[in-house]
């Protein structure tokens, strides 16, 4: 007896036993055998998710082969001693569960709420009570700029030439042009937790583990990079920034911070400085930078691109953050 006949006999016997046990199940008998709902040529779904067609077992070599491997195909029905199986059509793709589109920024919002807890410092309540009461106090002063970091080069005697923003316990966002120094090479250190360079009581220093530049960084475009570091300890002095997740910016002004020179060609500051900048339209920026844009071989040859750039400045003063940014050693 070949394997097809053996399989059909086994199925018939199984169905007969099932009928004896499930006496309350309505089953239809006909003179030529037991029928299921599907017939030859009907569409069906195989057990592995592919579409198929109901065929006689002997007309479906793939099903016969699977039986030999101990895998039994989906049954469409019987006619007498012959069985119809779901014969998989290899040309039809496997059905998959539809994936729901994930909202952009969900993880960023979750982490923002999590990091926001570090803005509070637990202090003893000033209220006189029998039992000491502790309360959470919000610490949001310029004396604490927990998201600002310095990027250092030269492991033996670090030179802190660039700034960055802490965006996670172990990642600092910085400029791509800060990922290499002509004299000192790649950055090796990151420090955070201070606003005065001589007050290191809350400062933390970490090693740079990996330097990651934007894959299409060129000239003034995609000038952004990441530094993976050994994790900082989170507190009110060291805390990541919340990431902006939409292209539109609701505010009209921005605050830029750094330890750079307080004036062009002037001396650098020991205290963290901040400057308020205004946002400008792409058209206004392109008009302002038209000479640089139109120069042959310009690094800004494509003009200001609002999909990857933000244009900000001051209509009253000459202000920026990059004049000899943080050039000092400690």
In tens, the pLDDT along 162-199 reads 999 999 999 999 999 999 999 999 999 999 999 898 99
CATH of region 148-313 = 2.40.10.10
Q: What is the DSSP string of 306-327?
A: TTT---EE-SSS---S-TTTT-
Which region among 31-35, 99-103, 144-148, 183-187 has the lowest average model confidence (pLDDT)? 31-35
Helix axes 61-68, 3-21, angle to 10 degrees: 80
Report domain extents, the chain: 3-88, 148-313
Residue 142 has pLDDT above 60, yes or no: no
Cβ 208 vs Cβ 227: under 8 Å: yes
Show the beta-strand stretches assigned E in 93-170. 120-124, 134-138, 148-153, 159-168
Q: Is 228 a residue whose pLDDT tops 70? A: yes
CA distance 200 to 197: 7
Length of the chain: 330
- How confident is the model over 247-267, as pLDDT tens digits? 888 888 888 888 876 665 566
The domain 3-88 is classified under which CATH number: 3.30.1640, 1.20.1630, 3.10.450, 2.60.40?
3.30.1640
According to the model, what pLDDT value does residue 322 have? 52
Cα–Cα distance, 84 to 301 (Å, whole number) = 69
Q: How confident is the model at residue 153 (pLDDT cuts 50, 70, 90)?
A: very high
């Amino acid at each position: 007896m070949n394997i097809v006949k053996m399989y059909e006999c086994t199925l018939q016997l199984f169905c007969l036993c099932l009928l004896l046990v499930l006496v309350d199940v309505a089953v239809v008998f006909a003179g030529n055998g037991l029928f299921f709902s599907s017939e030859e040529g009907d569409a069906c779904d195989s057990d592995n998710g592919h579409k198929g067609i109901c065929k006689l077992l002997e007309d479906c070599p793939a099903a016969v082969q699977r039986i030999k491997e101990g895998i039994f195909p989906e049954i469409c029905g019987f006619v007498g001693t012959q069985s119809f199986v779901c014969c998989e059509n290899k040309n039809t793709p496997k059905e998959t569960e539809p994936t729901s589109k994930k909202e952009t920024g969900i993880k960023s919002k979750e982490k923002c709420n999590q990091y926001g807890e570090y803005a509070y410092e637990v202090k003893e309540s000033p209220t006189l009570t029998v039992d000491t009461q502790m309360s959470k106090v919000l610490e949001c002063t310029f004396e604490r700029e927990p998201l600002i970091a310095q990027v250092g080069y030269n492991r033996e005697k670090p030179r802190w030439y660039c700034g960055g923003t802490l965006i996670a316990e172990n990642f600092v966002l910085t400029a791509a042009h800060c990922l290499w120094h002509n004299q000192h090479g790649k950055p090796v250190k990151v420090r955070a937790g201070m606003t005065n360079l001589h007050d290191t009581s809350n400062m933390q220093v970490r090693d740079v583990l990996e330097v990651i530049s934007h894959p299409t960084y060129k000239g003034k475009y995609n000038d952004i990079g990441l530094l993976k570091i050994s994790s900082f300890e989170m507190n009110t002095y060291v805390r990541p920034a919340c990431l902006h997740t939409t292209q539109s910016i609701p505010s009209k002004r921005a605050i830029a911070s750094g330890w750079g020179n307080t004036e062009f060609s002037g001396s650098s500051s020991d205290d963290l400085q901040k400057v308020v900048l205004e946002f400008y339209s792409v058209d206004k920026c392109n008009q302002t930078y038209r000479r640089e844009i139109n120069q042959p071989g310009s690094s800004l040859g494509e003009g200001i691109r609002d999909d990857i750039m933000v244009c900000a400045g001051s209509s009253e003063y000459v202000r920026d953050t990059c004049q000899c940014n943080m050039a000092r050693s400690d």
